[in-house]
Structure 1
Amino acid sequence: MKSNNTLFTIEKIKPLFSNIDIKEQIGRGGQKVVFKGEHKKYGSVALKLICPSNKSEQDRALRELLISSQLDASYFAKIYEYNNLKLEGKDIIYVIEEFIVGESLRERINKNKPNLLPKDEVKVIIESLLKALILTESKHLVHRDIKPENIMISDKRVVLIDFGIARHLDMVSLTETFAVFGPMTPGYAAPEQIKNEKRKISIRTDLFSLGILFYELLTGENPFVCSTVPETLNKTLNYSPIPLINKGFDHSISDFINACLEKSPHRRPASAEIALKLFYKINWEEL
């Protein structure tokens, strides 16, 4: 069986997309390859090619596209087209979406080390993500993978990307009920994801991840990440981070993050809109 290294070459895919001047490969991971190109109608685009290995992977990829295409706001990459095609006898899913000019939040963090990001920038990032989550919540969507790698910082925009493990709460879950773990990124996943408690997945799951991200941006440390995955998961389930008020931060910001990082989902803010209202009560002058 051919690998995606030989299947997804520019020479092989160019004839399939006559409207795109494909420039270069810009990403590869799992069953996905991403190219940058210039579309005759849409301008700069990202062309994603996905080669699912089974029906379950195909269903999850199509669900990601269905979910992402419902989100029409500056906080998300615009999806122009997606469909199925055949490439050398293999079933392929292609996506043409907006190319986000900028860098990931992880790249921004690493580039700025050993310094932390300015508080004004942190404020814009978290506020933008909360507004993005208000929109996903209105569509009954849970992203389930909020982390620096999935946040793009562009010109005057914060963009939440990669809905690859997103959950639509009105649709049947694609995760096996008896799976030990749910889809997640260790270190950013909420306890209910780790324990695969599907009925507890909600916007509060994303708020937990946002709380971790906020803590990391303010301190330079992820409060749960350890040297091994089992240690990270155990710490997420059983350890409460040192409150930021004990690190010299104002109680308003400490209270916000503590609320997001509650182990029980029902103890977290009930909605992204409520979380945003709490966020607006933070005293930034004391940071």
Structure 2
Amino acid sequence: MLADTPELREFIKIIYPSFGLHSTAKASGQRVVYFGRFSARQDIEPHNCDSWGDVVLKISEATSRSSISYLQKEIEILKSLKTDCFPKLFFDEVITIDPVTEENLNPMRIISIEEKVDSQNLTDIMKLYNKEEKVVSFLIEMINALRLLWGHSQALVHRDLKPDNILVKRNGRLVIIDLGILRQEGVKGVTNSFNAIGPCTPCYASPEQATNDKKNISFKTDMFALGIICYEMLSGSNPFIDANSEQYFDDVLERVCSYNPPSLETHGASNEFSRVIAKMMSKEPFKRYRTVESLLKDLEALV
């Protein structure tokens, strides 16, 4: 597993000599994420890198061309999305040769460099979204942004929507980050089909992720996660975390699959919005909204 180490930082320094590393994002297990800025440009560095300002540098490892292809999906999608709802991609490359020994690098390393969005993380300001009107507006904006993935020619699913992966800019607009476990709907995945669970963050996972039911992974999987986030905004806590007991991975996933949270009406939401969120969080995907348009219609009626 790749981790932030002095050796990795030295590797980055050799590859990009003028990159000034400011800080590191919390560990994700898939890759290491650094924040920094290019102070100048040297010949071996990307063109115009000194004009980018603050950037996010992501580095991952891969042992085969197929795993590289999977990791590059996020890069390809970011290149294709012409919108402010996702970060702008400046540069990417695959490092196959060790810059010191000039021998083949195994595992290979994939680097992408994105803009650093001037924003706050939703996790840090969730308490500001404690009124139904603001939560409805949040949900409509998120759905319209995610339609770029859901309606993509490859029918993409984010699969890891959570407050940590949503940024709020100074003007209040939202930016969705970390497409690292993006999945194409209906396509065989590279993760083991016999795993008990699929890639996910447990307390924002859908039942189909919790049981690794790949055939049912669709835009409705992201819909379930959005329902959890909205429920948390208005109730003040994640519905699948039991504050009265120690949290274990399996316990949270069991609650995702079996526990039905009380109606949001008990937390002051209207009957209409409570029914929308309950439908989004139905355990069976077929009971959730069949189309994005029908969900938006119900939300816009609330506005």
Normalising by the smaller structure, the TM-score range is 0.7 to 0.9
The 5-angstrom pairing of residues 1-287 of structure 1 reads: 4-9=4-9, 12-17=11-16, 21-29=19-27, 30=29, 31-38=31-38, 39-52=49-62, 58-85=68-95, 86-87=97-98, 88=100, 89-90=105-106, 91-109=108-126, 112=127, 117-119=130-132, 121-139=134-152, 140-156=155-171, 157-169=173-185, 171-226=187-242, 227-282=247-302
Q: 2: distance between equivalents of 1:209 and 1:242?
A: 17
C-alpha RMSD over aligned residues: 2.5
Q: Distance in 2 between matches of 1:192 and 1:134?
A: 20
Q: Deviations over 1:15-34 (max 9, x none)?
A: 4236x642413325233232
Q: Cα offset for 1:214?
A: 0.5
Instruction: Report if the CA contact (8 A) 1:32-1:50 is conserved.
Output: yes
Distance 1:186 1:172 in 2: 22
More off after superposition, 203-212 vs 264-273? 264-273
- 2: distance between equivalents of 1:12 and 1:189? 35
Per-residue CA deviation, residues 31-84 of structure 1 (Å, 9 max, x unaligned), is 323232143243332122223466675443222322333322111111122110
Q: Is the 1:32–1:51 contact (alpha carbons within 8 Å) kept by the matching residues of 2?
A: no
1:270 deviation in Å?
Answer: 1.8
Cα distance in 2 between the residues matched to 1:98 and 1:144:
22
Q: Deviations over 1:170-221 (max 9, x none)?
A: 6431122211111111111111111111111110010000000000001111
How far apart are the structure 1 equivalents of 2:268 and 2:159? 30
Distance 1:96 1:274 in 2: 37
CA distance in 1, matches of 2:69, 2:266: 46
Query: Contact 1:136–1:142 (CA<8 Å) still a contact in 2?
Result: yes
Counterpart residue identity of residue 144, structure 2: K
Worse-superposed segment, 207-216 or 172-181: 172-181
Distance in 2 between the 1:15 and 1:251 partners?
59
Gaps of 5+ in 2: 39-48
Q: CA deviation at 1:163?
A: 0.8
Structure 1 gap ranges (5+): none
SS at match of 1:25: strand
Go from structure 1 to structure 2 and tell me whether the alpha carbon gap of 1:37 and 1:259 turns closer, same or farther (over 3 Å shift). Answer: same
Q: Separation in 1 of the partners of 2:111 and 2:196? A: 31
Deviations 1:88-118 (A, max 9, x none): 5452111011111112111223xx4xx7645
After superposition, what is the alpha-carbon deviation per residue over 1:105-160, rounded to whole angstroms, capped at 9, x for unaligned?
Answer: 11223xx4xx7645554344222211112111111110011111111111222111
* CA distance 1:235–1:219, change in 2 (3 Å): same
Letter in 2 for 1:213: I
1:40 alignment partner, SS class: helix
Give the partner amino acid of 1:278.
D
Offset of residue 13 of structure 1: 2.3
Cα distance change of structure 1 residues 263 and 2 upon mapping to structure 2, 3 Å threshold = closer
- How does the TM-score come out when normalised to structure 1? 0.86
Does the C-alpha gap of structure 1 residues 277 and 12 become closer, same or farther in structure 2, counting only changes over 3 Å? Answer: same
Equivalent AA in structure 2 for residue 206 of structure 1: D
Q: Would the aligned equivalents of 2:2 and 2:32 in 1 still touch at CA under 8 Å?
A: no
Q: What SS is found at the alignment partner of 2:36?
A: strand
Deviation at 1:244, TM superposition (A): 1.5
| Residue identity in the other structure for 1:33 | V
| Contact 1:190–1:209 (Cα < 8 Å) also in 2 | yes
TM-score, structure 2 as length reference: 0.82
Identity %: 30
